[in-house]
Amino acid sequence: MPRGPPQPTCQNHSTTNRSQDCGKASSRLAFRRSTRADRAANNGSPTLTEAGSQRYQRIPPVTQAALGATCGMTERRRAVLEGTRIRRVRNPTAGRIEAAVLGMARENVVVLSEADDDHVQVWQRPGGLLQLEHRAGSPVEHFQTMTVSADKVHAAFTAWLRRDGGWAAPFTWRSVSELL
C-alpha cells in the first residue's frame, strides 16, 4: 500500500520531477509535506490532512504559467520514434528515447519524426561514428553532422522533442545538398 499523498504530475507525463514536465497544466491535485512554518502560519488550519503520521497540505492544481516558470520547458511535439529493431512508438518518453539511442548497435538507425519532412535521425556507421541528421521541411532544410558521443545525440533528440530552440547548437551542421 503506497504511503503519503499522490505526487504532483503533469498531464503528459507520469514523472514527479518538475524539471522534466512539459509545461502543461496539471489536472491532478498536488500535495506537499507541510513544514513547521506552514503549521505555524496556518494555526492548525483544516487544509492540513493526516496521511499516516505525516502531515500534508493540499495545494490547488498547478497552472500552466506557474509550471512553465518552474520547469522552463515548452510544449512537446507529437512525435513518433522508430528505427532498426525498434517498434514504432507514438509520443515516446525521454526514457524510451534514451534506451533507443544509447542502446543502438552498429549500422542501426533511430528516427524521431513529427511529420514525414520534419525529423531528427541518427545512424551508427560501421566504424562506430554517429551520423546525426535533421530535416525541417524541404530538401534544402536537410542537415547532417558527425559525432562520437551517443549522449550528445540523446540530448539532441530529447531537446528537439521539447522544441528547445538551442538543441542543434552543440554541433557543426552541413547541408546534405552540399554533400551530394
Residues 93-119: tens digit of each pLDDT: 999 999 999 999 999 999 999 976 899
Do both 108 and 28 map to the same domain? no
Do both 66 and 86 map to the same domain? no
- At 180 the three-state DSSP class reads coil
Residue type present at position 142: H
Do both 28 and 45 map to the same domain? yes
Do both 67 and 147 map to the same domain? no
Do both 104 and 44 map to the same domain? no
The pLDDT value given to residue 153: 96
Q: Which of 71, 103, 132 is the last residue of a domain?
A: 71
Do both 113 and 31 map to the same domain? no
- Residue range 85-97: mean pLDDT, rounded: 93
Do both 67 and 111 map to the same domain? no
Q: Which of 76, 73, 56 is nearest to 65 (CA)?
A: 73
The predicted model scores a pTM of: 0.58
- Residue range 84-91: mean pLDDT, rounded: 92
Give whole-number Cα distances, 98 to 60, 87, 122, 129, 153, in Å. Answer: 33, 14, 13, 18, 9
18 close to 71: Cβ distance less than 8 angstroms? yes
Higher-pLDDT residue of 131 and 77 is 131
